[in-house]
Amino acid sequence: MKSVLFTVPVLLLVFSVAGWSSTGHVFLTGHDPDYHASAGGNTAGAQHIIQDGINFADGGTFVRALLVTDLRNPGGDQSDSRLGMNAAGYTGLYDIADYGSGTLGVLDLHTVDFSLYSVVVIASDYGGWLRQDELDILNARRTDLGNYLFGGGGLVAFAEGGDRATGGDPSIYPGTSHDRYGYLPAIVSSAALNQSESGVTVTSFGGTLGLTSADVNGNASHNIFTNTAGLNVVDNDAAGDILSLAGDYTPSLSQTPEPSTISLLAIGLIAGIGRLRKKNKLEV
């Protein structure tokens, strides 16, 4: 009986440390509101997309955001995502992480601690300045982001279409070229599609986030989603394709966080307890 009473709290620790005790929220969109919040035909609507996306992702408990973006201007029809964040009302309320440029005041995405932030916001790669450099690091840190989400963190990701003004030529206007949204714990499929926002409709779920049809029309979007990965559809384009997804990220058969060093430590604790039980000949 002693061993049973001693083991149960440790099992609870395993699930808690591994990040299975909380619910994270994600908001993914083919819109690039980080561009249009400060430039475009519908700045107010783009600002609302940023605000409502962040509010959903962080559960309304915003403290500080981490903006993942490159700071090298790719040229062409692009805009610094910081301008969009500022226009949406987040001036001074976010830190920046990039590929490790060493720029003063900019964090290294390789090592930044996601848990310090209410929400991680990933810039668009058409409209914004995200490059494959940052996307590769995010994808490599998929486990870290998964544990962050399953531990209650929030994530907002804007358009990842890769097709900038020159047709996506990375030697002219570098963007992303592969493995888009690959940092998510569940597999989300997308396809590049540049189109004007006309005839876009908000679903009933999207309405619960505070979005209206006036928010999602009047600018441009750059990718669609070809599956939902268990998330909710927020809005559809005129052809019925999915433009935005949002939902809770809880552990399930299809959305399972990869093992972390912390969870492995917890397993080690159980093994240690087993050896202690054997040494002291405790009854099971």
Report the chain's terminal Cα–Cα distance, integer Å: 6
How confident is the model at residue 255, as a pLDDT? 43
Rounded distance between C-alpha atoms, residue 125 and residue 47, angstroms: 18
**Cα–Cα distance for residue pair 118/81, rounded to 1 Å:** 18
In this structure, the chain runs to a length of 284
CB-based contacts of 213: which residues, under 8 Å, 6+ apart?
Answer: 200, 201, 202
* pLDDT at residue number 75: 80
145 phi, psi to nearest 5 deg: -65, -35
pLDDT the model gives residue 132: 93
Q: Give pLDDT, residue 42.
A: 97
**Segment 87-139, tens digit of pLDDT:** 999 999 999 999 999 999 999 999 999 999 999 999 999 899 999 999 999 99
CA distance 154 to 58: 5
Residue 159's pLDDT is what? 96
Note the pLDDT of residue 77.
81
What's the confidence (pLDDT) of residue 172? 66
User: 3-class SS at 109?
Assistant: coil
pLDDT score at 177: 87
Using CA atoms, how far apart are residues 81 and 124, in angstroms rounded to an integer?
A: 8
- 3-class DSSP assignment, residue 217: coil
Q: In the chain, which residues have pLDDT < 70?
A: 1-22, 163-173, 250-284
pLDDT value of position 275: 42
**3-class SS at 157?**
strand
The pLDDT score that the predictor gives to residue 284 is 33
Residue boundaries of the structural domains of the chain: 1-18+260-284, 24-258
CA 178 – CA 168 distance, rounded (Å): 12
Query: In this predicted structure, what is the pLDDT of residue 266?
Result: 37
Q: Could you give the count of Cα atoms lying within 13 Å of 122 in the half-sphere of its Cβ? A: 33
* pTM of the predicted structure, to 2 decimals: 0.81
Which of 157, 134, 138 lies closest to 146 in space, CA to CA? 138
Q: What is the pLDDT of residues 39-53, one digit of tens each?
A: 989 999 999 999 999
